[in-house]
């Protein structure tokens, strides 16, 4: 939790940024989001009654806030349902880790069936947009036809190797090579959310309010997102056949099953890789929150079991 000293420093920092008096009445940590520590800030003085604070956690899950903030700002400016980022502090000086502050958006992330259609439409709209018109040229664009897949495999493989505790996992190493050898071609480059599905959007009375958690967003293959939705965040809602039919019916996207299999394997691989970062942070004592132990052990093992069962 945030200490009194941290809150004091945050108040002073925000007062300077917003050029007005800021008084924080409370800071409540919420369990939404694993990669960042998330707090709802309530104010007795400041530009808004409530804001959301999102703090990095020592590289947990292998991403940083820089690109996340840039893409959120770009999408917000383009009218997408994304919270407005009011302040980004890239240094460790105020809270010990980089953080940003964004608008509080009313709604819930708890899944309700009537929210799914608007969400899937919004995701399809994100994929259909021309990235060149969105102001996201800070993202590296895959150069070759297979680079949308290969660059992502190498990105997360590096995260895995850089965060190893002890020795390599032979099944992860084998899966990485399986993915390299079968990387599909991507005809059209899209903005890929990277972590889509229930739990990562806010809705209210059947209306989509915002898409959240943009730390994995990149330019790549939109099938990566559909696979993630089907096999991870949406796996409990319907089976793969039903998902493929639903997506085709709702937004007209016809998923190729062989490509889908690849991207499902990729997402399980990515999960296994990023989960390794949590164990390192926990073991080193950077932060000892028990969710990190869970992510670094059983969540990692669960992803690896599914991955091995899928492709090896």
* C-alpha span between 269 and 224 (Å, rounded): 12
Least distance (Å) from other proteins to the CB of residue 85?
A: 21
Q: Name the CA dihedral angle for 34, 90, 70, 24, rounded to a multiple of 10 degrees.
A: 70
Residue 50 or 141 with smaller CB distance to other proteins? 50
Least distance (Å) from other proteins to the CB of residue 131?
A: 30
Closest CA to 65 of 43, 42, 33, 41: 33
Residue 129 or 286 with smaller CB distance to other proteins? 286
Residue 74 or 230 with smaller CB distance to other proteins? 230
Which positions ≥6 away from 300 have C-beta within 8 Å? 271, 272, 275, 276, 278, 279
Least distance (Å) from other proteins to the CB of residue 266?
A: 15
Least distance (Å) from other proteins to the CB of residue 305?
A: 6
Residue 52 or 176 with smaller CB distance to other proteins? 176
Instruction: Return residues touching other proteins (CB under 8 A).
Output: 1, 28-32, 109-110, 166-171, 173-174, 176-178, 181, 199, 236, 289-291, 293-295, 297-299, 301-302, 304-305, 308, 312
- The CB-side HSE value for 281 (13 A sphere, CA atoms) comes to 24
* C-alpha span between 224 and 152 (Å, rounded): 10
* C-alpha span between 104 and 96 (Å, rounded): 23
Least distance (Å) from other proteins to the CB of residue 298?
A: 4
Residue 238 or 293 with smaller CB distance to other proteins? 293
């Amino acid at each position: 939790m945030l200490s009194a000293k941290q809150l004091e420093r945050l108040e002073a920092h925000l007062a300077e940024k917003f050029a007005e008096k800021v008084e924080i009445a409370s800071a409540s940590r919420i369990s939404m989001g694993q990669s960042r520590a998330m707090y709802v800030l309530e104010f007795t003085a400041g530009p808004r009654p409530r804001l959301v604070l999102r703090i990095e956690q020592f590289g947990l899950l292998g991403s940083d806030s820089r690109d996340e903030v840039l893409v959120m700002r770009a999408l917000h400016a383009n009218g997408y349902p994304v919270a407005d980022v009011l302040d980004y502090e890239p240094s460790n000086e105020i809270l010990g880790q980089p953080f940003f502050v964004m608008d509080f958006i009313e709604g819930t992330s708890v899944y309700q069936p009537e929210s799914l259609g608007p969400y899937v439409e919004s995701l399809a709209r994100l994929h259909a947009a021309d990235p060149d018109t969105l102001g996201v040229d800070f993202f590296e664009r895959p150069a070759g036809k297979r680079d949308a897949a290969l660059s992502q495999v190498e990105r997360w493989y590096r995260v895995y190797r850089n965060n190893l505790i002890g020795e390599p996992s032979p099944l992860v190493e084998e899966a990485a090579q399986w993915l390299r050898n079968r990387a599909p071609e991507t005809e059209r480059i899209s903005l890929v959310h990277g972590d889509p599905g229930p739990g990562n959007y806010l809705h209210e009375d059947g209306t989509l309010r915002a898409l959240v958690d943009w730390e994995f967003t990149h330019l790549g293959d939109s099938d990566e997102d559909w696979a993630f939705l089907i096999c991870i965040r949406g796996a409990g809602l319907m089976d793969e056949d039903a998902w493929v039919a639903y997506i085709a019916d709702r937004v007209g996207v016809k998923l190729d099953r062989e490509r889908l299999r690849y991207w499902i394997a990729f997402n399980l691989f990515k999960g296994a890789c990023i989960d390794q970062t949590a164990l390192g942070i926990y073991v080193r004592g950077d932060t000892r929150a028990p969710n990190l132990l869970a992510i670094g052990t059983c969540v990692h093992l669960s992803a690896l079991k599914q991955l091995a069962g899928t492709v090896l």
